Amino acid sequence: MSEPQIFPVPQDWARRAYADENAYRKMYEASIDNPEGFWREHGQRIDWIKPYTKVKNVSYDKGDLHIRWFEDGTLNASANCIDRHLAHRADKVAIIWEGDEPTDDKKITYRELHEEVCKFANVLKAQGIKKGDRVTIYMPMIPEAAYAMLACARIGAVHSVVFGGFSPDSLAGRIEDCASNCVITADEGVRGGRKIPLKANTDKALEKCPDVKSVIVVKRTGGDVAMKDGRDVWYEEAKAKVGADCPPEEMNAEDPLFILYTSGSTGKPKGVMHTTGGYMVYTSMTHHYVFDYHDDDVYWCTADVGWVTGHSYILYGPLANGATTLMFEGVPTYPSPSRSWEVCDKHGVNIFYTAPTALRALMREGEGPVKKTSRKSLRLLGSVGEPINPEAWLWYYNVVGEGRCPIVDTWWQTETGGILISPLPGATALKPGSATLPFFGIKPVLVDNEGKELEGATQGNLCIADSWPGQMRTVYGDHQRFIDTYFSQFPGKYFTGDGCRRDEDGYYWITGRVDDVLNVSGHRMGTAEVESALVAHAKVAEAAVVGYPHDIKGQGIYAYVTLNVGEEPSEELRKELVQWVRSEIGPIASPDLIQWAPGLPKTRSGKIMRRILRKIAENDFSNLGDTSTLADPGVVNDLIDNRQNKS
Ligand code: PRX
């Protein structure tokens, strides 16, 4: 492999940033040598109602696994995001909302945010929602989505945001799993000029969820929707009946703040549960150092609030820091592929944080749509969600940033709550494609498949040796699943599910998932979920799903499908199955390629050999390994002959 190019820290960045190389090293060492002392100090960066005296109480021992931070402190997350800024920043813009249409935008100050959130909280109370109740939020990217989340936090209700692209079935499963009895939605969402029938989807989902007692509907498009008497209320009408004063509920540091469902290698999506104190400390601190946020900066994270990136880095982290955070309803290619950069120019965005898949899609359009915009406000660029290939990194750096903006490639997960491995812009020399070095308090370790820790420049399974405040606390309602998933394969460590290489400089290079989880356009997808959707179709006998390299999406979904006896493959059926998966899970799970497989390669004990299926999908037959143990070795040749990815 050729030596990667190194981009040193620009002088002006080293001078102005919160941490230069020296400061990073010192703080990192302190955080590892004395985590208790380090976090005792930095826990104070947020406001506590009752200060903590205890800092860390963690055991990764399977028999008694618990993770507690600041456990005797009390606070309120929404007060940290809003109330504490009212004394000095009441008139500062908290949220810039940019609508789907370029003519549609809005600015919300901290004072206005306070009033909106208090009113939303009072609407929730009027619906009978109390501390500890679970509230499902199924919303487009409009300010009310942020108000709704912060309103839950204000009264101590636990929000579970479900991405607006999920199907009614997926929504129903997530409502049922956490027994939530209230849903907040909108009549319709709008993205890229197209409408998304959120209320109609909710109605369909609720046919399966009779326990939902109230549905609060925000008007976005004014489209025609059905309202069920006694269950559904229009937000605007309910809001007119409540006051603008709602004192924040005093919450324990370890009270749940939210649940967010994410895919694993087996079974249904898991309800990742985050609590209040540690999460707020960690997201605000990472936002401060990784994005080097200063008071006048305009910061834009392009994620959707339906994903963890939206929770931690559109909402909680930036607002805890009193930032101006931009929330975008649309897509980067509407009405033209210049949109992202036009939005940067329009609002003077200084810090821009997006996913490699978006960059690859824009790269395909060439430099023209970028170059016709100024982008002179941009100072720092960020990447998240999947490995960024060096070509996309260099395009981002040279074309978008014109060689003057460092790129922070931030590695983290829904489970980690915040960024764990990332450059700090004033401290870390960059290598395109590497997430570089761990954040304060993070101790990455690479282990082989037997769990042996590997030293020096090496490659292995990425684990984290110790806890950090933003770590998830449990799988909602299933603590055993939490233990089994993250702490069993390599006892005593948190296992991330990612493979990783460490180079001679100690830099980390994430190589992708080592389990049966796909990363499609930065969205996490369990192969098992797509398979179970496929076999739920009446004509399908069996299905096996794997990932394959995809130019834009990073990974595409490749499905091998065995039909029931008597069913004939056809183009029509192929389309029907794609549509079927879209409606069962959501458009993000659409298979890219479907191969009809009269048989799947199985061991004699009946286990599908995914390794072989992955190779065929990758169009790589050089190293299929030993196929002689297969029950019917002939199926492999048939699959190779009829492969769909012949590029
Ligand atoms: O495989 C890693 C990849 O995304 C996974 C986490 O997905 P999710 O929980 O949906 O959270 C995404 C946003 C934080 C990881 O296990 N991943 C995320 N960021 C990076 C990454 N892979 C490489 N480089 C990254 N910067």
User: pLDDT digit string (tens) for 283-309?
Assistant: 999 999 999 999 999 999 999 999 999
Kindly state the tokens that stand for 194.
């197209």
Residue 340 labeled ligand binder: no
Q: For residue range 157-183, what is the model confidence (pLDDT) as tens digits?
A: 999 999 999 999 999 999 999 999 999
Within its chain, how far is the Cα of 249 from the centroid? 27
Q: Which residues contact 29 (CB under 8 A, 6 or more apart)?
A: none
pLDDT value of residue 288? 98
For 79, what's the count of Cα atoms within 13 Å in the CB-facing half-sphere? Answer: 18
Mean of pLDDT values over 6-11: 97
Burial, 413: exposed, middle or buried (Cβ in 10 Å; 0-12, 13-18, 19+)? middle
Domains and CATH numbers, the chain: 109-246 (3.40.50.980), 521-642 (3.30.300.30)
Which pTM value belongs to this model? 0.96
β-strand pairing of 351-354 with 298-301: parallel
Give the H or E element holding residue 95.
Answer: strand 93-98
CA–centroid distance, residue 281 to ligand 1 (Å): 21
pLDDT value of residue 630? 82
Q: For residue range 513-559, what is the model confidence (pLDDT) as tens digits?
A: 999 999 999 999 999 999 999 999 999 999 999 999 999 999 999 99
Q: For residue range 483-515, what is the model confidence (pLDDT) as tens digits?
A: 999 999 999 999 999 999 999 999 999 999 999
Q: Does the beta carbon of 264 lie inside 6 Å of ligand 1?
A: no
Residue nearest to atom 25 of ligand 1 (CA): 411
CA distance 100 to 332: 10
Q: Does the beta carbon of 411 lie inside 6 Å of ligand 1?
A: yes
pLDDT tier at 628, thresholds 50, 70, 90: confident
Mean of pLDDT values over 222-230: 97
β-strand pairing of 540-550 with 508-513: unpaired
Q: For residue range 238-286, what is the model confidence (pLDDT) as tens digits?
A: 999 999 999 999 999 999 999 999 998 888 899 999 999 999 999 999 9
Dihedral (CA of 232, 235, 239, 241) sign: negative
Q: For residue range 65-124, what is the model confidence (pLDDT) as tens digits?
A: 999 999 999 999 999 999 999 999 999 999 999 999 999 999 999 999 999 999 999 999
Locate tokens 């009895």: which residue? Answer: 181
CA–centroid distance, residue 422 to ligand 1 (Å): 12
CA 411 to ligand 1: nearest atom: 26
pLDDT tier at 2, thresholds 50, 70, 90: low
CA 523 to ligand 1: nearest atom: 10
Helix 35-42 vs helix 21-33: crossing angle, to nearest 10: 120
Q: For residue range 426-469, what is the model confidence (pLDDT) as tens digits?
A: 999 999 999 999 999 999 999 999 999 999 999 999 999 999 99
CA–centroid distance, residue 9 to ligand 1 (Å): 25
Single-letter residue type at 334: Y
Q: Residue 1 pLDDT more than 60?
A: no
Mutate to test the pocket of ligand 1, among 419, 524, 588 (most ligand atoms within 8 A of CB): 524
pLDDT value of residue 567? 96
Residue 13 labeled ligand binder: no
CA–centroid distance, residue 155 to ligand 1 (Å): 31
pLDDT value of residue 465? 98
CA–centroid distance, residue 512 to ligand 1 (Å): 8
Q: For residue range 550-607, what is the model confidence (pLDDT) as tens digits?
A: 999 999 999 999 999 999 999 999 999 999 999 999 999 999 999 999 999 988 888 8
Q: For residue range 328-383, what is the model confidence (pLDDT) as tens digits?
A: 999 999 999 999 999 999 999 999 999 999 999 999 999 999 999 999 999 999 99
pLDDT value of residue 607? 86
